[in-house]
Amino acid sequence: MSDNPTRTNIEELGEFGLIDKITQSFSAQQPSTMMGVGDDAAIIQPTDEQIVVTSDMLLEGIHFDLAYVPLEHLGYKSVAVNISDIAAMNAIPQQITVNLGLSNRFSVEAVEALYRGIGYACKNYKVDLVGGDTTSSASGLVISVTALGAASSQFITRRNSVYENDIVCVTGDLGAAYLGLQVLAREKQVFLSAPGQQPNLEKYDYVVRRQLRPEARMDIVYELRESEVIPTAMIDISDGLASELFHLSKQSNVGFRIFEENIPIDQQTYETAEEFRLSPITCALNGGEDYELLFTISQADYEKIKHLSDVHSIGYAQPLKNGLQLATKAGQFVDIQAQGWNHFKAADEADDIGSAD
């Protein structure tokens, strides 16, 4: 922000002035948005579809470090992670509200950058910003987003309806976002010890982008509809594949057998993991923040989706008593450990990721 030629303090505009300035650039795209920002509440005209609602909060120092996260990307990501939850319900996102807590070190220009990212996400996912609260914060930046979506009840995919022998699919590839975070954290240390040195992130462009600007897989939701497939269950991968498998297992009372060789991992993820002396498969299982979709389908539906280039079948559901197993490339069966992200642990502990094999 110090490079910014103009810096306008938020108090010059005040809360209402800031909101006016920001919301000018947002216009409604969804026919269900009857009224957005500017009243006590937004008004939404429902159809006969069911409404899904989800909410996520990103806190400075926990979920992001402004030393290496551009505000525009952060704005985009704060929307995308909520849209990802709507996608995981197999629903179509429609509206969002954004609550923002800003300390006085943020200028109007910084808030505009954040909202530019929010705006890109709104445009990309075709959602309307319909409300929220902007306030000052005594310490760091706080972003809390709520997303509303809609789908006919038969489309909605929950977590409690996996059947034994269902095929387990994941989209995209896994582990990259976690390694992107490792790269960024390392470059920050390098920068702090030698401020003149410019970081060279070209080699890590993919893993860094996966961390900074993840996409919700709405494209997959639309492809599934075109393929006339409704998953038996679906969840988004925010805490790592292992953790999400545990959620499905617990809620559906099934076990899983996952084949290591089928877990999609990008080449750059492999190479970066090697550089950091981390196991690529551990990053894929426990890395988190991939925001890919994990879903199960009946075997009968497999033919309908096997042409989808970014969907990978990685295993199948088995009786609960057989547990959550990883069939390794070496032909062994090992129990999958759920790590997830325990932000409540001390930071140095949380940075450790456990080994699954």
Which residues inside 89-108 make contact with a copy of itself, applying CB under 8 A?
Answer: 89, 91, 95, 97-102, 104
**Integer angstrom CA distances of residue 195 from 191, 192, 204:** 5, 6, 20
Among 49, 109, 271, 275, which residue sits at the site for a copy of itself (rule: CB under 8 A)? 49
CB 58, min distance to a copy of itself, A? 9
- Compute the distance between CA of residue 137 and CA of residue 142 in angstroms, rounded to an integer: 8
Does residue 210 touch a copy of itself according to CB under 8 A?
Answer: no
- Asked if residues 291 and 84 have their Cβ atoms less than 8 Å apart, the reply is yes
Residues 281-340 that bind a copy of itself (CB under 8 A): 340
**Integer angstrom CA distances of residue 235 from 130, 175, 224, 239, 245:** 26, 17, 14, 11, 9
Residues 231-260 that bind a copy of itself (CB under 8 A): 234-236, 251
Does residue 31 touch a copy of itself according to CB under 8 A?
Answer: no
Does residue 60 touch a copy of itself according to CB under 8 A?
Answer: yes
Per CB under 8 A, which region of 117-125, 162-170, 263-271, 344-352 contacts a copy of itself?
344-352
Residues 114-173 that bind a copy of itself (CB under 8 A): 130-133, 135-140, 142, 144, 146-149, 156, 158-160
Among 1, 11, 126, 253, which residue sits at the site for a copy of itself (rule: CB under 8 A)? 11
Does residue 46 touch a copy of itself according to CB under 8 A?
Answer: yes
- Compute the distance between CA of residue 207 and CA of residue 213 in angstroms, rounded to an integer: 10
- Compute the distance between CA of residue 79 and CA of residue 53 in angstroms, rounded to an integer: 13
Contacting residues for 22 by C-beta, under 8 A, at least 6 apart: 111, 112, 115, 134
Does residue 354 touch a copy of itself according to CB under 8 A?
Answer: no
Does residue 51 touch a copy of itself according to CB under 8 A?
Answer: yes
CB count within 10 Å of CB 3 equals 4
Measured from the CB atom, the residue of 23 and 262 that comes closer to a copy of itself is 23
CB 207, min distance to a copy of itself, A? 24
Measured from the CB atom, the residue of 133 and 274 that comes closer to a copy of itself is 133
Look-up of token digits 């069939």 = 327
What kind and span of H or E run contains 226? Answer: helix 218-226
Does residue 53 touch a copy of itself according to CB under 8 A?
Answer: yes
Name the residue type at position 83. I
CA angle, 329 then 332 then 338, to 5°:
90
Which sign does the torsion angle of CA 3, 9, 15, 17 carry?
Answer: negative
Per CB under 8 A, which region of 45-53, 117-125, 183-191, 298-306 contacts a copy of itself?
45-53
Among 14, 27, 205, 253, which residue sits at the site for a copy of itself (rule: CB under 8 A)? 14
- What is the β-pairing status of strands 50-59 and 142-151? antiparallel
Does residue 74 touch a copy of itself according to CB under 8 A?
Answer: no
Does residue 4 touch a copy of itself according to CB under 8 A?
Answer: no
Task: At 65, give phi and psi (nearest 5°).
Answer: -125, 115
Does residue 3 touch a copy of itself according to CB under 8 A?
Answer: no
CB 99, min distance to a copy of itself, A? 4
Look-up of token digits 């309806």 = 161
Does residue 35 touch a copy of itself according to CB under 8 A?
Answer: yes
Per CB under 8 A, which region of 162-170, 228-236, 265-273, 278-286 contacts a copy of itself?
228-236
- Compute the distance between CA of residue 12 and CA of residue 100 in angstroms, rounded to an integer: 18
Structure tokens at 331: 């032909």
- Asked if residues 87 and 220 have their Cβ atoms less than 8 Å apart, the reply is yes
- Compute the distance between CA of residue 35 and CA of residue 167 in angstroms, rounded to an integer: 42
Name the residue type at position 33. T
Structure tokens at 335: 């129990």
Measured from the CB atom, the residue of 169 and 281 that comes closer to a copy of itself is 169
Does residue 47 touch a copy of itself according to CB under 8 A?
Answer: yes
Measured from the CB atom, the residue of 4 and 104 that comes closer to a copy of itself is 104
Measured from the CB atom, the residue of 133 and 205 that comes closer to a copy of itself is 133
CB 311, min distance to a copy of itself, A? 18
